[in-house]
Amino acid sequence: MLMAGADDGQQRPRLGEAADLLRNAIWMHLRSSVPRSQPTVFWAVRLMYICAALRLLGVPILPASPGSSAYPLELGISWGVFAVLAWANSHGYSWARVLFAVWVGFHTPVLFYDLAHVSASAAPVWTVIASVVFWTVEFSALVLIVNKRSGPHYRHKPART
């Protein structure tokens, strides 16, 4: 396929061409399959991907102390959970909606506990703000996927014959 437009004497595809093919193949496989006719799920999946990106970038979340940073393993697990749940929700898997609700349900009391026990010396103000903003995005995605209008996206689709 890559060699169809190759120059005379070229025996292998160029690195950039191969990388472009690989990038597009991954995008085609992982891209969201939510139709625009399901706006609640469409935006919920986008918000989940935003959460995944924020975790991948290492946005600090409570509890945080001065000079501390999240562990790479924790960031990787958190990013992976958001990415997998976003992908699964975009493809209409009902279990993903339930697991995301459990995930947010776990984060909510943890956040409020951390907010109640944080002291001015324990965490910078921007960490508290980042935690609340992150939770708000996460909770907004949950509200969108459990919305009644999202139901048709998660219903079993009959097999085509």
Identify the residue with better confidence: 49 or 114.
49
Contact, 128 vs 62, CB < 8 A?
yes
User: So what's the pLDDT on residue 31?
Assistant: 58
The pair of structure tokens assigned to 17 is: 């061409």
- Quickly count: other Cβ atoms within 10 Å of residue 70's Cβ: 15
Q: Which domain holds residue 120?
A: 35-154
User: So what's the pLDDT on residue 145?
Assistant: 93
The most confident of 3-7, 63-67, 123-127, 139-143, by mean pLDDT? 139-143
| The dihedral sign for the CA sequence 109, 49, 159, 36 | positive
Does residue 55 fall inside a structural domain?
yes
End-to-end CA distance of the chain: 32
Does residue 121 fall inside a structural domain?
yes
User: So what's the pLDDT on residue 109?
Assistant: 87
Does residue 147 fall inside a structural domain?
yes
pLDDT mean over 39-51: 88
Using alpha carbons, list the distances in angstroms from residue 138 to 45, 74, 86, 103, 133. 10, 17, 11, 9, 9
Structurally, the chain folds into a number of domains equal to 1
User: So what's the pLDDT on residue 136?
Assistant: 92
Helix segments in 57-93, DSSP class H: 72-90
Does residue 14 fall inside a structural domain?
no
pLDDT mean over 101-107: 90
Residue 74 pLDDT grade (very low, low, confident, very high; cuts 50, 70, 90) = low
Does residue 2 fall inside a structural domain?
no
Residue 47 — φ and ψ, nearest 5°? -65, -35
Does residue 132 fall inside a structural domain?
yes
Does residue 102 fall inside a structural domain?
yes
Residue 160 has pLDDT above 80, yes or no: no
- For the stretch 17-44, pLDDT in tens is 777 777 777 666 555 566 666 888 888 9
